Amino acid sequence: MDKADQADTRSVILAQARELFLTLGYHKTTMRNIAEAAGVSTGPLYFHFRDKAAVFFYICSEAFDCLGAEFCRVSREEEGAAERLRNIFLAYKAFYYREPQLFAMMHLATDPMSGIGLPESLAEALLQKGIALVKIMEDIIRDGITCKEIRPVDPAKLAVYLYSVAEGIFVSNRMGVLRQQNIGMDEMIDAAIELVGVGMIDMGRFAGFGGQPGKGGN
């Protein structure tokens, strides 16, 4: 098997395993299930992955990396800090719609109620990837404070708060909470962007976190 074939086999395994983890659940999915779904014997499966935990980890790692790439892209934009933070929300929304399975896997991995119990080294690696997402936002906030665009608040706390707001909206949407209240997810994101921006933006320095003149400073 050449490198191209190995890469193709690995991709098929990960894609099929992702489906199984989300339909059967982590505990009911076995390596044999994964091999059968991927159309390979257990030999090639174990060639690529040591065990089920490793398969699960790599899928979740891919999810964090995919979202992290979007956050990094936004962080490098030439917009002001507040506008980049707004675009972080929008990039996360785009990821949610574009990669629903990866979004679900990220949250399955980090949900303490799932009882998955990854080996400590793998769980820590995923935790660090999540922290890296918040750190990107923190760096944007620090830049905004330096430029006096954002109020001089604790950058780490504000980054965690903004990330938590975004997470809460997406999770509430998946749980059907927004639907029960007849609120669309896009409406909720727009409201969050506007409301958070009112308290965050340095008065008189920015037209508005939500892109509406006058929202940030009066």
In tens, the pLDDT along 101-125 reads: 999 999 888 887 788 889 999 999 9
Q: Tell whether the torsion through CA atoms of 162, 175, 11 and 58 is positive or negative.
A: positive
Which one, of 63, 64, 59, 55, lies nearest residue 131 by Cα?
A: 64
Q: Which CATH number fits domain 56-218: 2.40.50.100, 1.25.40.10, 1.10.357.10, 2.40.400.10?
A: 1.10.357.10
Q: What residue spans define the domains of the chain?
A: 1-49, 56-218
Residue-wise pLDDT tens digits, 156-212: 999 999 999 999 998 899 889 999 999 998 999 889 888 887 777 764 454 445 444
CA 195, distance to chain mean position in Å, is 22
pTM: 0.84
In this predicted structure, the answer to whether residue 96 has a pLDDT above a threshold of 60 is yes
Which one, of 32, 153, 18, lies nearest residue 82 by Cα?
A: 153
Cβ-proximal residues to 124 (8 Å cutoff; 6+ apart), any chain = none
Residue-wise pLDDT tens digits, 3-45: 556 678 999 999 999 999 999 999 999 999 999 999 999 999 9
Which one, of 27, 107, 21, 93, lies nearest residue 64 by Cα?
A: 107
Phi, psi of 133 (to 5 degrees): -65, -45
In this predicted structure, the answer to whether residue 100 has a pLDDT above a threshold of 80 is yes
- The pLDDT, as a whole number, for residue 2 is 53
Rounded Cα–Cα distance for residues 193 and 180 (Å): 22
Q: Which CATH number fits domain 1-49: 3.40.367.20, 3.40.50.10680, 3.90.700.10, 1.10.10.60?
A: 1.10.10.60
* Fold: same for 1-49 and 56-218: no
CB 99 within 8 A of CB 145: no
CB 81 within 8 A of CB 150: yes
In this predicted structure, the answer to whether residue 131 has a pLDDT above a threshold of 80 is yes
Residues β-bridged to residue 150: 201
- The pLDDT, as a whole number, for residue 115 is 84
**Tokens 């727009």 label which residue?**
190
- The pLDDT, as a whole number, for residue 211 is 47
Residue-wise pLDDT tens digits, 37-80: 999 999 999 999 999 999 999 999 999 999 999 999 999 999 99
CB 105 within 8 A of CB 64: no
- The pLDDT, as a whole number, for residue 4 is 52
Rounded Cα–Cα distance for residues 211 and 216 (Å): 9
- The pLDDT, as a whole number, for residue 26 is 93
